[in-house]
Structure 1
Amino acid sequence: MAGSFFRVACQDCENEQVVFGKAASEVNCAVCGTTIARPTGGDAEFTGSVVETVEAR
Structure 2
Amino acid sequence: MAGSFITVECPDCENEQSLFEKAASEVSCAVCGHTIARPTGGKADIEGEVTAVVEAR
The two structures share one fold, judged by TM-score above 0.5: yes
Q: Structure 1: which 4+ aligned runs deviate by more than 4 Å? A: none
**Cα deviations across residues 8-57 of structure 1 (Å, max 9, x unaligned)?**
00000000010101000000000000000000000001001100102346
In structure 2, the residue matched to 1:48 is 48
Corresponding residue for 1:6?
6
Structure 2 unaligned blocks of 5 or more = none
What is the TM-score when the length of structure 2 is the normalising length? 0.92
1:55 & 1:33 partners in 2: Cα distance?
A: 27
Structure 1 length-normalised TM: 0.92
Return 5+ residue gaps in structure 1 as ranges: none
Q: Count matched residues.
A: 57
* Inter-partner Cα distance in structure 1 for 2:55 and 2:24: 18
